[in-house]
Structure 1
Amino acid sequence: MRLISATLLTLALTTAAHAQQCGGSFSAFVDGLRQEALRNGHSAQSVNAFFNGVSQDQATLNADRRQGIFATPFVEFSRRLISQHRINNGRTNAERYRSVFDRMERELGVSRGVLLAFWAFETDFGAFQGDYNTVNSLVTLAHDCRRPELFRPQVFAALDLFESGDLDPRNTTGAWAGEIGMVQMLPEDIRDRGIDGDGDGHVDLQNSAPDALMSGANMLRSLGWQANQPWLVEIEVPSNFDWSQSGLETTRRVSQWQQMGIRGRNGALTNTGLQASIVAPQGRNGPLFMAYPNYSVLFEWNQSFVYVTTAAYFATRLEGAPVYDAGNPDPGLDQNQMRQLQQRLTALGHDVGGIDGILGARTRAAVQAEQQRLGMPADAWPTTELLRRL
């Protein structure tokens, strides 16, 4: 009788833990992860070694809710990230790993400037890779109910890496969101797209630059990067340009943009048969770029518009492009004003993706729509004048 009761109790606890997709008791949540791992064929020895000692990390949760840097305008943000030190180190590393970059471009078709830019911004070429325990962060974020669908699979991918000898659950550290290594990749991407670039039998993104660079390039290729095609080019537009045609939602062949009077700032535009968009990070009076399909692929790496545009531009700098023309952008909004704007846009029926004070893609689209309605230049850059008129 005691044995039957114990068995029924175990089954009940297992079912309850399995049903707990996020939230609730952290220990019960971890038990659910254990049971799921066992059902998926992992050995009890591996599961115990991986999950024993895992703990909730409040610092991870704090970091997840503190991402104000992405509210910084493009010019300020890019000047902050693109230092002479990073330019010099980029050139030094491009030469030091020339053979790796040659192989990367030959086999995967990803330009060296792109990986150099992410390597620089993510970890300062490997110098600062993060000190958050990777497993603790991933389990904490999977338990948190903000984005469990993103982080829960990463926990099991990390278990796979542990079983292959490429992750130590107690000692592997990285970014607060669970990214690992010099170019900060999530466990699922390392498992599925990692490349052993140095031939030692392991994919070690923390200590092997060839592994990190080849793996990052392979991830971009798998996300749709088109070999040997551009991603971002600085442009000049005619004074009569219709700014409602700017933004990533509008694409035309480069040749069509040329017919509308758009020119490359530093030479003739190439790849005239490709589709492209006009990007004005700080409106019509700031820097202007033509964005090709490869630019959009970069949002799979990081979803911040200002970060992706800065990384894409820095990649061109590392490959010889000059400093952009900063122009004289109209003053933007601070975060409190941006929240007010988002509230007013929401009241008008626009979906801005949340009142967070960050000028994301949905807020830009709503701003552009309201600028058109009000007869203002529709360049998607919010100003105090727009806020007043709304």
Structure 2
Amino acid sequence: MFLTLFPALMLRTFTAGSALSLVVACAAEPIAQTLPSVSDALAATLPGQPAQAADPVEMPAVSFEQWRDGFRQKALAEGISAEVFDRAFAGIEPDPSVIAADRSQPEFTRPVWQYLDGALSRQRVASGRRLLDEHRALFDQLEARYGVDRAVLVAIWGLESSFGDIIGDKSIIRSLATLAYEGRRPDFAEDQLLAALRILQKGDVDPSRMRGSWAGAMGQTQFIPTTYNEHAVDFDGDGRRDVWSTEADALASAAHYLQTSGWDFREPWGFEVSLPEGFDYALADADIRKPLSEWRALGVKGITEADDTLRASLLLPAGHRGPAFLVLDNFRTILRYNNSSAYALAIGLLSERFDGGGRVEGAWPRGDQPLSRSERLELQERLVQQGFDPGTPDGIIGANTRRAIRSYQQSLGWPADGHPTQQLLGRLRAEP
């Protein structure tokens, strides 16, 4: 999805996740709209569990009408016609549900293996196989034009919108206007709102059909407006870039985005590997990229026959006790679509599952209970107390926190995988 949610175009690390989702997908729901909002995007909100309010947000000093009139002047100065603006904003009022979604933060999470269970459901795999066969001619054209694997496109299609069945029903103009007026990222929301008005002015879609998620993501491949304007494609040649109801346009738009993000048809996204006894788990860092030949020399098993000069990073999505993956540049390209390592892993595995592969051989530590948001915050605060700098405590396990965890683990003589666990928090609690 980053195209689906705000932060994913703003962040470019393996472990930062999208910060705007709320619920867990079941097998029939679009997984990408339910991505984790905390803990490095390797978990999703547990169904039936409360969300924790985010930090207080200062209320606007002006009324919505005053904000709208000021924004109208800005939009007209940016080239939006008065007719387009007034038609788009006719009857628009703030949406309280959007503000509630924007300000909530899930307290409880579930681990990556449960996320993958939903992403790789039999229903999703069967639907993907059927659509690959049904649209064979279209995918031939897309691969020839953009050089992006058809199975990857179908995996994105499936996770973003359940193959176009669930694309969101909120007015994009209303949602973005609400976020621009009262949300936590008003400047970003205003930029997206201007981009949405440009889409209307171009005539690609009528305001009544410009619908999507509360965060402003649109269509079968869940583009935000700025991404749409840069990468959406009129593949069927009807004069409109219709990512809402035209599969060819939606899939071509995703392919175009991946192409411009660096997808290489000749290379794998990555593969599962096994690590030798005594391996240095501190090497599992997105910033560490080694040629496959070097990983092989370190005793890593399971490396494919890919070019040994290709550079890869080691991903341990559940820490040293779970499966290990070497991920290459195409994995990073998927992250540009949605900056979540769980999402990128799901796309890679699902794309292989359509052809009978994509099975994870390593055992997940299914008995582990992930840290809640308040526990992650406590972990960060206790790391600070012990002299390990995770950055400003915020409950989000990003690169700085992982580095701090590794340093602390090394001081204990533990495997330094940078993974937050209940055991780690318990050890910190025992410190004087």
TM-score (norm: length of structure 1): 0.87
* Aligned-pair CA distance for 1:70: 9.2
Contact 1:158 1:167 in 2 (8 A): no
Structure 1 residues 146 and 223: alpha-carbon distance in aligned structure 2, compared to 1, 3 A threshold: farther
* Aligned-pair CA distance for 1:195: 0.8
CA distance in 2, matches of 1:57, 1:313: 37
Q: Which moved more, 1:245-254 or 1:370-379?
A: 370-379
Counterpart of 2:266, as a letter, is: N
Higher alpha-carbon Rg? 1
Structure 1 residues 323 and 276: alpha-carbon distance in aligned structure 2, compared to 1, 3 A threshold: same
**Equivalence for 1:108:** 146
**Equivalence for 1:308:** 344
Q: 1:24 aligns with which of 46, 61, 71?
A: 61
Counterpart of 2:307, as a letter, is: N
**Equivalence for 1:294:** 330
**Equivalence for 2:286:** 248
Counterpart of 1:271, as a letter, is: D
SS of equivalent to 1:366: helix
The answer to whether residue 371 in structure 2 is matched with residue 334 in structure 1 is yes
SS of equivalent to 1:229: coil
**Equivalence for 1:11:** none
* Aligned-pair CA distance for 1:349: 4.9
**Equivalence for 2:12:** none
The answer to whether residue 353 in structure 2 is matched with residue 317 in structure 1 is yes
Q: Which moved more, 1:318-327 or 1:108-117?
A: 318-327
For 1:158-307, what aligned pairs fall within 5 Å after superposition?
158-264=196-302, 268-307=304-343
Contact 1:263 1:269 in 2 (8 A): no
Q: Which runs of 5+ in 1 are unaligned?
A: 1-21
Higher relative contact order (CA 8 A, sep 6+): 2
Counterpart of 2:389, as a letter, is: H
| Structure in which a larger fraction of residues adopt helix | 1
Aligned length: 366
**Deviation digits for residues 156-198 of structure 1, max 9, x if unmatched?**
1111111122232244211111111111011111122111122
Q: Which moved more, 1:143-152 or 1:203-212?
A: 143-152
CA distance in 1, matches of 2:393, 2:251: 35
Contact 2:388 2:407 in 1 (8 A): no
SS of equivalent to 1:103: helix
Structure 1 residues 104 and 263: alpha-carbon distance in aligned structure 2, compared to 1, 3 A threshold: farther
* Aligned-pair CA distance for 1:361: 4.1
CA distance in 2, matches of 1:78, 1:211: 28
Q: 1:90 aligns with which of 128, 132, 137?
A: 128
**Deviation digits for residues 249-287 of structure 1, max 9, x if unmatched?**
2110111111111122xx734132111001010011212
* Aligned-pair CA distance for 1:29: 1.8
Counterpart of 2:243, as a letter, is: L
SS of equivalent to 2:307: coil
Contact 1:332 1:381 in 2 (8 A): no
CA distance in 2, matches of 1:145, 1:219: 28
SS of equivalent to 1:247: coil
* Aligned-pair CA distance for 1:69: 9.4
* Aligned-pair CA distance for 1:372: 2.1
Counterpart of 1:166, as a letter, is: D
TM-score (norm: length of structure 2): 0.79
Q: Which moved more, 1:37-46 or 1:328-337?
A: 328-337
* Aligned-pair CA distance for 1:138: 1.2
CA distance in 1, matches of 2:268, 2:243: 26
CA distance in 1, matches of 2:126, 2:399: 32
